Structure 1
Amino acid sequence: MKTIIAATNFSKAANHAVAFAADVACLLKGRLVIFNVVDILPVTTDAQVPIDFYEVAEEEADKSLSELALEMKKRTNNEIEIKALYKVGTVATQLDTLCDEEDPLAIFIASEFVTVFERLLWGSHAIPIAKHSSFPVIVVPANAMMKDFKKMGIAIDLEHRSHIQWQFLRDWLKLFNAEVDIVAVSPAAELTSRGVPLTIDTQEQLGSYKVSYHFVANNDVEDGIREYVTKNTPDLLVMFVQKHGILHKSITKSFILLPPVPVMFISQEVK
């Protein structure tokens, strides 16, 4: 049974991501783990924390999780197993521990946060989670509705094709029987010669799937990918996070904060 983890800070956007994840879990007849972290304030902070701060925060987390789990059970007609829990600690550490225990298919998080405080707690964690998680991280826009992942756009760096986790992609595509758009952005003068090796690699690795190629001529990689999304409206955009190459930190951050569609980030740690 496939397990999906949905992390929330109980904002409207975060709970929407949980609902989206619940729909995916229901589609796959899997199980959903709703997760919250009562975040420990950094030791360098000057904030004065009340003595009962964590006790109150834990009580609120427990109550909010119970209400959210009940809402998701109604949403899925009690067709899937739903587990809800919170931990006290730092978001990245507690999420890593949970993933080691649950071995999830994917982690779902929100793209937006409704207060500055929430953005400080979660926004600063979203980038390292996406860049270093051993499991795929799916960032859900506030207006995204889950129908199915029937069409997936896979953004590929022409300079770093060797880092593509093809086996993972095959396993993921098989779950949804999806059509595939291979998306590569490069200046116009370089597209023809650089695109041929990619099509050969893709045919060898994804030959059993319906594959279309989108070579976008644009000097700005982010603009090129967003141009593809606007024209082709994939259900899911897949991006590989690399230490070097086109999908560097600024692009990763941009697609986390402003994803045009649900975006799945695959770090080099994903097996």
Structure 2
Amino acid sequence: MKTILLATDFSKSAKPASEFALRLAELLKARLVLLNVYHHPLRIPVLQAVFTPLEEKNKVRARRKLYRLRDQLGEKSTGSVPISVLVREGETLVTIEAVVTEQKADLLIMGTAGANSPGAQYFGSQATEMILRTPVPLLLVPPAAHFVPFKNIVVALDLGQPVDALALDGVLRFTARFDAFLTILCVSDKPADPLIRQAAEAIRDLLRHQPHTLTVVSGTDLTSTILQFTTENRADLIMMVPKSHNRFLFSILESNTQQIARQSDVPVLAIR
């Protein structure tokens, strides 16, 4: 892992994500890129003379905040992490996606609003919406999270669907970087179904060289079951493998990954 991209809006809830980005860059010996995306007013030709100075002002303000954040992180680090800043104008999610590709980022980090924020149970955020778009692993950090090296990771898998081999390989490669223990969690309304048991055995075989446990629990509410299991097992990271979704439907009906990311008190890593 060579490049970590932190997309920030400078909000209070985004502060822990900055800490995670710095510490992970230190552990993985990666460079860190700080990104802020700002919006320009509607471009109406007759008003361009008015909006252009305002647009430049927004850009300067964003750059100053990024430099301040860079300096703050630099003071906290050992000085071994190269930190650069990027200010971009445009639609937030589209621009972040483009910068991920441009910078050849290996990991994208964003902060979430958190389970206790107003409307968190019902409304999404820019960070969770990014789950559908990101071409690289996306680490979503809740506002109450405190960084600890990942050692106990819960991986939620759906045994009712074919397992994405590439995504599972991404899970293993990420885990290996932290020498972490994997707890595979599968939630099913029919845990005794022979097909579910067969799928579980296939996962065990694929992970035979990786220290892990595999648990199949009965349940219909995936989000609450996964979050409760995570709390009981004192996990410090939840890993999810989001399914492919139609973007129009995704904007109306949340995925399980999005719900968990909004409500979790521990970071969530989405690997596509």
What's the TM-score, normalizing by structure 2?
A: 0.84
What is the CA–CA distance in structure 2 between the aligned matches of 1:40 and 1:254, rounded to whole Å?
30
Unaligned runs of 5+ in 2: 44-48
- Deviation of the 1:80 alpha carbon: 0.9
- Alignment-derived partner of residue 141 in structure 1: 142
- Go from structure 1 to structure 2 and tell me whether the alpha carbon gap of 1:82 and 1:123 turns closer, same or farther (over 3 Å shift): farther
Aligned to 2:129: 128
The residue that corresponds to 2:260 in the other structure is: 255
1:25 corresponds to:
25
> 2:231 & 2:50 partners in 1: Cα distance?
48
Alpha-carbon distance in 2 for matches of 1:42, 1:184:
47
Report the secondary structure of 2:163's partner residue. Answer: helix
When residues 256 and 53 of structure 1 are mapped into structure 2, their CA distance, relative to the original with a 3 A threshold, is farther
Shift of 1:59: 1.0
Residue 36 (structure 1) aligns with: 36
Write the distance in 2 (CA, Å) between the matches of 1:31 and 1:18. Answer: 13
2:171–2:271 contact (8 Å) kept in structure 1: no
What residue in structure 2 maps to residue 225 of structure 1? 226
Quote the offset at 1:194 in angstroms: 4.2
Identity %: 25
- Whole-Å separation in 1 of the counterparts to 2:267 and 2:26: 17
Q: How far off is 1:196 after superposition? A: 2.3
Q: Is the 8 A contact 1:34 1:65 kept in 2?
A: yes
Rounded to whole Å, the distance in 2 between the matches of 1:251 and 1:103 is 28
Question: Within 2, Cα distance between the matches of 1:141 and 1:124?
Answer: 12
- Partner amino acid, structure 1, of 2:186: A
Q: CA deviation at 1:198?
A: 3.1
2:64 is matched with 63
Kept in 2, the 8 Å contact 1:17–1:109? The answer is yes
CA spacing shift, 1:157–1:90, aligned 2, 3 Å = same
1:185 corresponds to which letter in structure 2?
V
Answer whether contact 2:227 2:260 (CA < 8 A) is retained.
no
Q: Distance in 1 between matches of 2:42 and 2:237?
A: 35
Q: Deviation above 6 Å: which 4+ runs of structure 1?
A: none
Cα distance in 1 between the residues matched to 2:262 and 2:200: 31
One-letter amino acid of the structure 2 residue matched with residue 81 of structure 1: P
Alignment of 1:151 with 2:152, yes or no, is yes
Q: CA separation of 1:243/1:208 partners in 2, compared to 1, >3 Å: closer, same or farther?
A: same
Q: Which amino acid aligns with 1:166?
A: L
Distance of 2:192 and 2:57 partners within structure 1:
57
- Please name the residue that 1:46 is paired with: none
Aligned length, in residue pairs: 253
- Within 5 Å, which residues of 2 pair with 1:54-93? 54-93=55-94
Which residue type is aligned with residue 175 of structure 1?
R
- The separation in 1 between residues aligned to 2:184 and 2:41, in whole angstroms, is 42
Which amino acid in structure 2 is aligned with residue 251 of structure 1?
N
Cα root mean square deviation, aligned: 2.6
What is residue 198 of structure 1 aligned with on the other side? 199
Contact 1:111 1:259 in 2 (8 A): no
Is residue 2:183 matched to residue 1:181? Answer: yes
1:42 and 1:207 mapped to 2: Cα distance?
56
Separation in structure 2 between the aligned mates of residue 42 and residue 229 of structure 1, nearest angstrom = 45
Is the contact between residue 16 and residue 146 of structure 2 (CA under 8 Å) also seen in structure 1? no
Q: Secondary structure of the residue that 1:190 maps to in structure 2?
A: coil
**Closer/same/farther in 2, CA of residues 212 and 41 from structure 1, 3 Å limit:** farther
CA distance in 2, matches of 1:37, 1:17: 16
- C-alpha separation in 1, matches of 2:16 and 2:50: 31
Partner Cα distance (2:50, 2:255) in 1 = 37
Q: Do the aligned partners of 2:4 and 2:108 also contact (CA within 8 Å) in 1? A: yes
Name the CA distance, whole Å, in 2 between partners of 1:249 and 1:241: 11
